[in-house]
Structure 1
């Protein structure tokens, strides 16, 4: 098991400062410090990135996994270990540099599908979410807030980061709640209607808003009240948000399938009447 001392030794041997590692991992220096003193555990995705940046031979780690698997097979636990190993190996893919563009791509595909199928409801739901997520993306991917706020003022910096995300998420909630009214303002289509899926999307973004709010409160506790062990949301932030995104994509996919099924039924009825 790699602990904080191991992480620190690898970083120092690689000639990387805490600030340098924070830039490589797209996080702030306090997170690196917490990993190294054992206040918080490093996520597996960041662990593999850490090992890569420190130019550690990953084959050694894989050989250790194989050795452990050999022991586990004797106890009938090899299948469970295989599953965990696959998750561990693919966990670096859960980076915001991959997931956010992929989420935007899926939303764009759903909106385009709605246009192709002339389903105004799918088009507008996917389109509204796409636009509000796309507004969010360049702000945080460019690190704009980090550049315009003092790096030593973690309270101000964290408040602006979480606060901005919270505001955009709440706006998304209201847009989705009043989606039908907004759609009718934009389009004169007679097919605009409240679907069974409309009630799902705003709850997913209410969940996301709650995560942003808890992250904001946790940052205040950490930076203002010196509660250094309060990093639960921070350490798991991306994963918690990605859960909501995955459910949102699943709901859109189900809506698209349902829409296709309804169109097929309508076509059959039309053909039968003829």
Structure 2
């Protein structure tokens, strides 16, 4: 089992500073420090990235896995180990470098599809989701927070980091709650109306806003009040947000299917009347 001391030793042997590793893993230095002192466990996706950046020979780890599997097969537990191995191998897909572009791609596809279907309500919902999510992504990819705050001040940097996320999320909630009024302001179409899906999306982003708020409070407790064990939200931050995104994707797909079915029904009714 790889512990914090092992991680620290690998990083030092590779000549990588804590700040350098934080940039490679797209997280702040506090997270790296937590991993190395054992305050929090490193996720499997980041562990593989850590090993890769430290240029370790992963074949040694794989040989150990094979040895463990051989021992497990004797005890009839090899299937369980295989399932866990598959989960471990696919866990890097939870990286924000993959998930965020995929989420934006789906939002863009939904927006394009709704324009093709001439569904004004779905177009505006997808456009709101895409615009604010893309703007939030650009702010952090551009490194604006890192430029305006000192790296060593974790309180200010963390407050800005989670505060900006919270601001975008609350803006999304307000925009989705008043989506019909906003749509009527932007368009004179007579087909603008409240849909069954309007009551879903703003709740998903209320959930996301709650996660951002808890992460913000947790960062203050960690940085200012030295409550080093308060890392529950922080350690699971990305996964908690991705749950909301996954539900949002499900609602978008259901909305696209519903739009297709309604168009098919309308076409059949038109053909029957003729």
TM-fit CA distance, 1:4: 0.8
User: SS of the residue aligned with 2:40?
Assistant: coil
| Distance in structure 2 (CA, Å) of the matches to 1:254 and 1:72 | 42
TM-fit CA distance, 1:215: 0.5
Provide TM-score, normalisation by structure 1. 0.96
| Distance in structure 2 (CA, Å) of the matches to 1:271 and 1:76 | 62
Task: Report 1:105-254 matches (<5 A).
Answer: 105-254=105-254
| Distance in structure 2 (CA, Å) of the matches to 1:231 and 1:63 | 33
- The runs of 5 or more residues in structure 1 that have no matched partner are none
User: SS of the residue aligned with 1:118?
Assistant: coil
TM-fit CA distance, 1:194: 1.1
| Distance in structure 2 (CA, Å) of the matches to 1:214 and 1:234 | 9
| Distance in structure 1 (CA, Å) of the matches to 2:237 and 2:259 | 33
- The runs of 5 or more residues in structure 2 that have no matched partner are none
TM-fit CA distance, 1:75: 3.3
User: SS of the residue aligned with 1:228?
Assistant: coil
TM-fit CA distance, 1:40: 0.4
Q: Are 1:21 and 2:21 counterparts?
A: yes
Moved over 4 A (4+): none
Contact 2:173 2:202 in 1 (8 A): yes
User: Over residues 119-172 of structure 1, what are the superposed CA-to-partner deviations in whole Å (9 max), with x where a residue is unaligned?
Assistant: 111111111010011110111112211111112221111111111111110110
User: SS of the residue aligned with 1:45?
Assistant: helix
TM-fit CA distance, 1:55: 0.7
User: SS of the residue aligned with 1:34?
Assistant: helix
TM-fit CA distance, 1:245: 0.8
TM-fit CA distance, 1:63: 2.0
| Distance in structure 2 (CA, Å) of the matches to 1:110 and 1:43 | 32
| Distance in structure 2 (CA, Å) of the matches to 1:12 and 1:151 | 20
User: Over residues 60-96 of structure 1, what are the superposed CA-to-partner deviations in whole Å (9 max), with x where a residue is unaligned?
Assistant: 2122222222222333332222222112112222221
1:65 alignment counterpart: 65
| Distance in structure 2 (CA, Å) of the matches to 1:122 and 1:68 | 51
- Root mean square deviation of aligned Cα: 1.2
Contact 2:30 2:154 in 1 (8 A): no
| Distance in structure 2 (CA, Å) of the matches to 1:193 and 1:37 | 55
Task: Name the count of aligned residue pairs.
Answer: 274
| Distance in structure 2 (CA, Å) of the matches to 1:257 and 1:80 | 36
| Distance in structure 1 (CA, Å) of the matches to 2:110 and 2:70 | 45
| Distance in structure 2 (CA, Å) of the matches to 1:76 and 1:42 | 29
Task: Report 1:28-43 matches (<5 A).
Answer: 28-43=28-43
| Distance in structure 1 (CA, Å) of the matches to 2:117 and 2:76 | 50
- Flag the 1:75–1:199 CA change in 2: closer, same or farther, 3 A: farther
2:269 alignment counterpart: 269
TM-fit CA distance, 1:231: 1.2
Provide TM-score, normalisation by structure 2. 0.96
